[in-house]
Structure 1
Amino acid sequence: MHADPIDQARCLVHSRFPDALSVVLAGSTATGRATASSDLDLAVLIEDGGVTYRETIRFEERVVELFVHTPIGLLELFAADVAARRAVLQNMYASGFVLVDSQGAAGRARALAEADLREGPPPLEPEAVDTKRYGLTDALDDLGDAGDPIERLAVAGYVVNAAAELLCDHHHAWIGGGKWLPRRLLEADPERGAALLDGHHHLCGSGDPAALIGAASEVLDLVGGPLREGYRRAWHGINESVSAARRVHG
């Protein structure tokens, strides 16, 4: 494997994307967290008329995640990431290491990314908050009653994710998945985020759910408290394919 992942990324870009408008190396390699087996995350901006896609390849024995997009595709992906409240691509551009910058393209993309990050994610609609409150309340009841250790672990995972989403929304903060969930959670609320993560870690080791229940209950109190009786969710639409069929068949 190439000794220097940045040099390796440059070699890949030179051979595969010689005409790229910009290329940004993101992820652990750009932030100094890379290990010998870390993959390379590359955001590649190409000319309009090309294809926007994501692809995983292997280059010189290293896994590479390619995020390739046209200028129009980049705007669409930024909008999708904002709607999902995750800002994955924005973080890549904002914190990544620039490998290629043709006529300021990387700088312009980074400016757009940073603007989105400063603005923050859209807030959850009140109905969505209530639905998540209800689901977390129900899960905490299950967690307290769960006798089966496998079921307890499964419910605990749901509790952490649901509480994290509510806590991040409360702070108008971006959320994350996988390894980014604890990172985003601690950025949003170092104290309560750590309590959730520590509670989950303690449960996984000991089987005792008390600390996690306490931490998640504190999050619930921030956003309106537990929700059981009185919860009601209206159905606002039907499946698009059913709707299309009805239009066709009158």
Structure 2
Amino acid sequence: MGDLNRLEPVKAARKFIENYFPYCDGALLAGSVVRGEATKTSDLDIVIFDKTYSSSYRESLIVYDWPIEVFAHNLNSYQEYFASDFKRARPSLPRMVSEGIILKDKGIIDSIKSEAKELLSKGPEKWSMEIINTKRYFITDTLDDFIGCSNRAEGIFIANTLAELVSEFVLRTNNKWIGASKWIVRSLREHDTKFAEQFVEAFDKFYRSSAKDKVINLVDEVLEPYGGRLFNGFSLGKE
């Protein structure tokens, strides 16, 4: 792509709306270009609202030398996504709407943004002790696999699973939103910068040298306030 000659993100997004969605009721530009975190592979995340659409859809395009991700909704479907994101504790669409730069608005955007911001400020649904204990058990089970594993290849992927489980546990027990991929670290940093650094350092040490001590200590520190590792006596689904 001709990065040096392509339009600035907002200009490209506005031109895209004018030419491809001229009759929409509202549009927002979101994502890394809005947050100031864009890289050379970043795309333009554009949220479209159009009351004439029968359902929501997602589409990927390359226009004006920009990769563009379109998230199209009618004036009701976005609420279903808000509810789904709340349930899974990953507020992808609410975050995009909340942070989005307005590209076009026929008087609908302010109320939708307010809904998104209210959901984000509320935080995810609080975990019950039953859920916490179930998560403790699966973290313990994965940690045992990690400790006992002597196969480097298998150990890498056990560590991946352990990192996801532990990050989820820390964030959800603190009533914070979780994330996937790069948003794991971003969500941890939003919650606690010092812990995020400890988390990255522990797993980075393992990936570099196969040393497990920092990961094991980290997991035990995370579980300790909730009773530590859990295996003996755990039961799930027994009547």
Q: TM-score, normalized by length of structure 2?
A: 0.93
Q: CA deviation at 1:222?
A: 2.9
- The secondary structure found in structure 1 opposite 2:237 is coil
Q: 1:228 to 1:47 in 2, by over 3 A?
A: same
Report if aligned partners of 1:139, 1:155 keep a CA contact under 8 Å in 2.
Answer: yes
In 2: Cα distance, 1:15 partner to 1:221 partner: 57
2:120 maps to which residue?
117
Residue 34 of structure 2 corresponds to residue 10 of structure 1: no
Amino acid in structure 1 at the alignment position of 2:165: A
Report the AA paired with residue 205 of structure 2.
H
Distance 1:92 1:170 in 2: 24
The answer for the alignment partner of 1:46 in structure 2 is 50
For 2:81, the equivalent position in structure 1 comes to 77
| Distance 1:43-1:235 versus aligned 2 partners, 3 A rule | farther
The correspondence of residues 70-109 of structure 1 with structure 2, limited to 5 A, is 70-103=74-107, 105-109=108-112
Q: Which amino acid aligns with 2:79?
A: L
What letter matches 1:51 in structure 2? S
Assess if the C-alpha contact under 8 Å between 1:23 and 1:100 holds in 2.
Answer: yes
CA displacement 1:173-219 (0-9 Å, x = unmatched): 00000111100012122222321221111111111111111112111
Matched residue, 1:216:
219
Equivalent residue, structure 2, for 1:26: 30
What is the percent sequence identity of the aligned residues? 29
Equivalent position to 2:72, from 68, 75, 84: 68
**2:159 corresponding residue in structure 1:** 156
Judge which range, 179-188 or 51-60, deviates more. 51-60
Report the equivalent of 2:61.
Answer: 57
- Given that 1:23 and 1:43 are in contact with CA atoms closer than 8 Å, whether structure 2 keeps it comes out as yes
Check conservation: 1:21, 1:102, Cα contact below 8 A: yes
Q: Which secondary structure state, in structure 2, belongs to the residue aligned with residue 147 of structure 1?
A: coil
- Who is 1:130 aligned against? 133
Q: Which amino acid aligns with 1:151?
A: E
TM-score by length of 1: 0.89
Deviations 1:69-125 (A, max 9, x none): 11110111111110010111111011121111212x111111000000111000233
RMSD: 1.6
State the shift of 1:138 in Å. 1.3
How far is the alpha carbon of 1:49 from its aligned partner? 4.5
Which of 230, 233, 238 is residue 230 of structure 1 equivalent to? Answer: 233
CA distance in 1, matches of 2:152, 2:38: 35
> What corresponds to 2:41 in structure 1?
37
**Which ranges of structure 2 fall in alignment gaps of 5 or more residues?**
none
Q: Distance in 1 between matches of 2:237 and 2:42?
A: 45
